[in-house]
Amino acid sequence: MNIVIDGIIYLLQRHGGISVYFNELLKRSTPPEVQSSAILYGNSPKNANFFAGHIEMRKPRRFERYRKCQVSSEANIFHSSYYREPDKNIPTVVTVHDFTYERYVKGPRLWLHSFQKFSSIRRAQAIICISENTRKDLLEFMPDIPLDRISVVHNGVGDSFFPLGPAIYESLVRPFILFVGGRRGYKNFIVVVEALAQLTEFDLVCVGGGPLSSYEQEKVGRLLGNRFKYLNYVSDQELNHLYNQAYCLVYPSINEGFGIPVLEAMRAGCPVIACEGSSISEIAEDAAILLSQPAVEELLDAIIKLDNSQLRNIIRLKGFSRASSFSWQKTFEQTMKVYETLFN
């Protein structure tokens, strides 16, 4: 079996859940009888040397992301990291992460994205959904897809996240709430800002998601002032330190394909407040405080509840237990089974 991974995602994003997913797949060694190779482009990760298997570096063509991927005649299975098709008639695997574009983006950007995405999914002989919720969304938007092509393979959580001991948290002069990832409307970042405007004993630390918009800057400056800190990029080691220090992770997104930060926080012993629904209820179960809606008053109540040391400890212990159900090794092994089934 000869598997080709199309690393186009690294040309589209420097960091993000999809990049993490393919990093974890690519760095694991396949069995001796399986050959694997990754096609990487100009903006590929600097640490690509940790990838197992063969790496082929290419100069991206004009409009590379929208063109068919050129693969060798020796390839048996093609797996694109972001909805591309091969230029040869070989079995194809596609991983479907979410349908946030289809729910929240409009106009030409949506048309172009969905045309390529839906074409790739229909072309695929095997479809991996990263959660049951994503599978449900897939069948909502594409009810004609045969059920026997779909496999649910959950994302994992990295070994980089673990508790560092209570002294890290207890040594803080001022407690802070942690917000990780994108801040688009459905992520409800502004709800967090408005809630913390009323809890002046807390700071807010925001990690990733790109530079703040002018609207976000104005809102944060006016409501939080110097109680806000933005970190554009941190290493896994630094992020683990933040999870260990934080009073809690607030993740009030109402639409997620998976929600990797929820598991990272749990594995590090950081209590999680999130919104129920989408994949979050599936992933977190009862190991987080789940809001019925992303409302300021409900979020305030949840943050205040965590001041109860008994409840806080219960949430942490449940988080450890829930996070232990997920691993990238398990994701890799289940993905290999999808390849093997397709090949055979």
Per-residue pLDDT tens digits for 273-288:
999 989 999 999 999 9
User: How high is the mean pLDDT of the chain?
Assistant: 94
Q: Kindly provide the b/e burial profile for residues 108-131, where b requires at least 16 CB atoms within 10 angstroms of the residue's own CB.
A: eeeeeebebbeebbebbbbbbbbb
Mean of the pLDDT values across residues 127-137? 97
What type of residue sits at position 159? D
SS3 assignment for 118-150:
HHHHHHCCEEEECCHHHHHHHHHHCCCCCHHHE
pLDDT at 266 over 90: yes
- The pLDDT assigned to 170 comes to 79
CB-based contact 250:146 (threshold 8 Å): no
Q: Is 320 helix (H, G, I), strand (E, B) or coil?
A: helix
29: confidence class by pLDDT, cuts 50, 70, 90: confident
pLDDT in tens, 180-198: 999 999 999 999 999 999 9
Q: Kindly report the CA angle at 258 between 227 and 19, in degrees rounded to 5?
A: 80
- Residue 285: how many other CB atoms lie within 10 Å: 13
pLDDT grade, residue 171 (50/70/90)? confident
Of 27-31, 78-82, 137-141, where does mean pLDDT reach its minimum? Answer: 27-31
Which pLDDT score is estimated for 33?
A: 85
What pLDDT sits at residue 324? 97
pLDDT at 166: 85
Q: Quick one: pLDDT at residue 30?
A: 83
Lowest mean pLDDT among 13-17, 73-77, 279-283: 13-17
> Matching CATH topology for 2-155+328-341 and 176-325?
yes
**CA–CA distance from 200 to each of 76, 140, 186, 228, 301 (Å)?**
58, 43, 25, 11, 15
pLDDT band at 52 (very low <50, low <70, confident <90, very high): confident
Please tell me the predicted confidence (pLDDT) of residue 44: 59
Q: What percent of the chain has pLDDT over 70?
A: 98
pLDDT at 267: 98
Residue corresponding to tokens 């482009």: 41
Reported confidence tier of residue 51, pLDDT bands at 50, 70, 90: confident
pLDDT at 14: 73
2-155+328-341: CATH number: 3.40.50.2000
Mean pLDDT for the stretch of residues 244-264: 96
* pLDDT, average across residues 214-237: 96
Sequence-ordered alpha helix ranges (H) in the chain: 9-12, 17-26, 100-104, 108-123, 132-141, 166-170, 189-196, 214-223, 236-245, 260-268, 280-284, 296-305, 309-323, 328-343
Identify the pLDDT of residue 45: 59
Cβ(268)–Cβ(244) under 8 Å? yes
| Domain limits, the chain | 2-155+328-341, 176-325
Q: Using CA atoms, how far apart are residues 199 and 207, in angstroms rounded to an integer?
A: 20
Distance of CA 327 to the CA centre of its chain: 14
pLDDT at residue 252, rounded to an integer: 97
SS3 labels along 60-100: CCCCHHHCCECCCCCCCEEEECCCCCECCCCCEEEEECCCH
Q: For position 49, what pLDDT does the model report?
A: 56
Residue 107 DSSP SS3: coil
pLDDT > 60? residue 140: yes
**Residue 77 confidence (pLDDT) above 80:** yes
Give 48's pLDDT tier (boundaries 50, 70, 90). low
The pLDDT, as a whole number, for residue 118 is 98
Pick the CATH number of 176-325 from 3.40.190.10, 3.90.25.10, 3.40.50.2000, 3.40.50.300: 3.40.50.2000
- Token pair, residue 82, equals 């972001």
- pLDDT for 167 equals 82
Residue 43 pLDDT greater than 70, yes or no: no
Helix orientation angle between 17-26 and 328-343, rounded to the nearest 10 degrees = 70
**Taking Cα atoms as reference points, which of 88, 74, 102, 11 lies closest to residue 48?**
11
